[in-house]
Structure 1
């Protein structure tokens, strides 16, 4: 099976969630049923940018490979090539982790 070619439009980005630790700092193991969905991910693809009121293209601040933080309810979950990813606007991203 071949990989699907997907290119986000405008100011949208494709993000794959990063799994969080299954153990707390105190050593308590968190069961799957009690875990929250991670709010951290890696940008897989980014659109070319949004257009301003004059029609000029404004490039995005994020790029493929960036590790980002986003809101708990941000984006739309979709399946691409059997992998669960999120498609969201760049404005849903709170910041890039260094």
Structure 2
């Protein structure tokens, strides 16, 4: 999932995971009730700040805050651009 964009400094671009379509018990969730995913894949990383290299790399699966990042659309695909500090964990 390569994109032709490079974020600046400590920013990363994340492709959010798809929202759950069904509950574990099989109930279908309507679009209006779906929660924003808090998991995604890193698709681009910046160069980091001076004396602070980034710890995530392209391809990492990450967990991030519920309201983290700014939504962007590149070639019809939705992404989030956020600071590395908004990422909680690599999974």
TM-score (norm 2): 0.90
What is the aligned length?
A: 90
Q: Which has the larger radius of gyration?
A: 1
| Cross-structure match for 1:20 | 19
Aligned pair 1:92/2:90, yes or no?
Answer: no
Structure 2 regions of 5+ residues with no counterpart?
none
What's the Cα RMSD here? 1.5
Runs of 4+ in 1 over 6 A off after TM superposition: none
TM-score (norm 1): 0.84
| Cross-structure match for 1:37 | 36
Distance 1:24 1:4, change over 3 A: closer
Structure 1 regions of 5+ residues with no counterpart?
none
Contact 1:69–1:93 (CA<8 Å) still a contact in 2?
yes
CA distance in 2, matches of 1:88, 1:10: 11
